Amino acid sequence: MDINNLYNEWLEKATADPDLKAELEEIKGNDEEILDRFYRSLAFGTAGLRGVIGAGTNRMNYYTVCQATQGLSDFLNAHFEKPTIAIGYDSRIKSEYFSCEAAKVLAANNIKVYLYEELEPTPCLSFAIRKFKTSSGIILTASHNPAKYNGYKCYNANGYQMTDEEAEETYQYIQKVNYFTDIKTMDFDEAVKKGLIEYMGQKVIDEFLDEVSKQCVHPGICKEADLKVIYTPLNGTGNKPVRKILEKIGIQNVFVVPEQENPDGNFPTCPFPNPEIKQAFACALKMADEIQPDILLATDPDCDRVGIAVRENSGEYKLMSGNEVGAMLLNYLLSQKKKNGTLSENAIAVKSFVSTDLAEAIAKKYNCTFKNLLTGFKYIGELITNLESQGRAEDFVMGFEESYGYLAGTHARDKDAVVASMLICEMAAYYKTKGMSLADMMDSLYNEFGYYCNTVSSYTFEGASGMKKMSEIMEKLRDNPPAEFSGFAVTKIDDYKTSVSKNLCDGTKSVIELPQSNVLAYTLTNSNKVIIRPSGTEPKIKAYITAIGSDKDTASKIAQKLTAAADNIMK
């Protein structure tokens, strides 16, 4: 359909949400604004939908959410005799509204809905799917994106995000749904009366927190250490559950950043509510001057990721990377479980393949099997599910991604900042009783295993032209593979799209035994690495750099050179 005709159709028929009508009227005659909203439909993939909130096929709104939900309903009714679903939502603009509208569509399609009474962390949805044995799950969130974004993630019956095959089939159903004629819906109160929508009570959250607390390695250590914590939920969903779990394990001194305590999808003091960046800690760091805590915690809006800053001997606070926290947590769990006699003989840990290789070295020390999987926590969730089916759930130690996502335990099948916050604080308390900060502990790991400098560079490509540019960059890299990066020779190329690993030293090829993904990984001399990966949810390409040296200065200089080489590729 011609874009102007599509715009006019929406102008006439998009009446369900008055905000959409006002926006469409405002852009009348502005071809560039119209094009941006209608040049494509939001893509539905394994991460569901994600986009800017607003009017049009390329926006998150009532119609795109309900179209996706109708397609999901058709998929579920085709595969399950009596399908059920759990729905959660975060603090973002329109998240609660979208969750209720989705529930109405599902109910109209005779699908029983379990709906959280209030906003909850994403891992709570994964927990609810398994508790109620639902066929699927939906969470309304855009994770750590700026306020103008929202998103719609779909989960399968195992409690992790849909597989590629499930998402593709659901997308085929979605494409058949007309925004204005094919969406079924019903009155919300009527659906509740008929038992098609049921609110989940507080008991579900209490059970979730009970399961989280079982992951403690040293119960009571936090009270003994008198740990002092500043916490910010960044105006998201973590406020209640994180504070409850910290209280549950005996931390009595938790100071919450007041400006970021309560839910607010506008994120007024933190336009980028991402615990990976220092700006997210700005308010907490101001409080730290007076309180002098041992550790600062920040969870993202849907509380599936957590970042930390720790006090160094100088009194300054150092932000720890996701790779560093993942490595420390793995070392803590393995060393303490071995010490306590609770480490399984067949222990297994896992990370995304773009995360630090330091974790593999740590696992090897403790004879722990280690797995590298594609980026996407669903692959870690799938591994846990397979272990569980083999009666090996207790063998799972932890999984993590460099983007600040961690999971210990099998209560969820997604990254969980509630359990991660608890274990990070317990770890900090344990080392505090030994006279060490987490910064000291990280230094000891570098001294033992070598310095791993892991950096990530993101390159943004907005709009229709940006999508084309991203495609061209990946195509060029495949057609003309680089022989070196800043003087470091490429020794191996792993193309996860073709599933081919090529050793450039001897010319041999092997098959990559992982699902196909549009990723190129280059192994360089001295085990340095550059991995190029387009984001699945944002208009970005990311370059993951691994630089290994005997000390920080050596590794950092290598990382700078490799980053410069990646910058040139993205021009």
Q: Answer for the pair 211, 411: CB distance below 8 angstroms, yes or no.
A: yes
Q: Fill in the amino acid letter for 260.
A: Q
Q: If we measure between CA atoms, which residue out of 374, 420, 369 comes closest to residue 395? A: 369
DSSP, collapsed to helix, strand or coil, labels residue 317 as strand
Tokens 């009155």, residue? 187
Rg of the chain over Cα atoms, rounded to whole angstroms, equals 24
Residue 290 neighbours by CB distance under 10 Å: 8
Q: Answer for the pair 520, 478: CB distance below 8 angstroms, yes or no.
A: yes
Q: Answer for the pair 193, 109: CB distance below 8 angstroms, yes or no.
A: no
Both tokens of 551, joined, read 């000390």
Q: If we measure between CA atoms, which residue out of 297, 411, 285, 405 comes closest to residue 355? A: 405
The per-residue b/e assignment along 251-282, b for 16 or more CB within 10 angstroms, e otherwise, is beebbbbebbeebbbebebbeebbbbeeebbe
527 secondary structure, DSSP code:
G
Catalytic residue list: 143
Both tokens of 114, joined, read 């379990």
Residue 41 neighbours by CB distance under 10 Å: 17
What are the CA-CA distances from residue 512 to residues 264, 476, 517, 525, 541 (Å)? Answer: 44, 21, 11, 21, 22
Angle of the 417-433 helix axis to the 122-132 helix axis, nearest 10: 110
Q: Answer for the pair 102, 153: CB distance below 8 angstroms, yes or no.
A: no
Q: Answer for the pair 305, 417: CB distance below 8 angstroms, yes or no.
A: yes
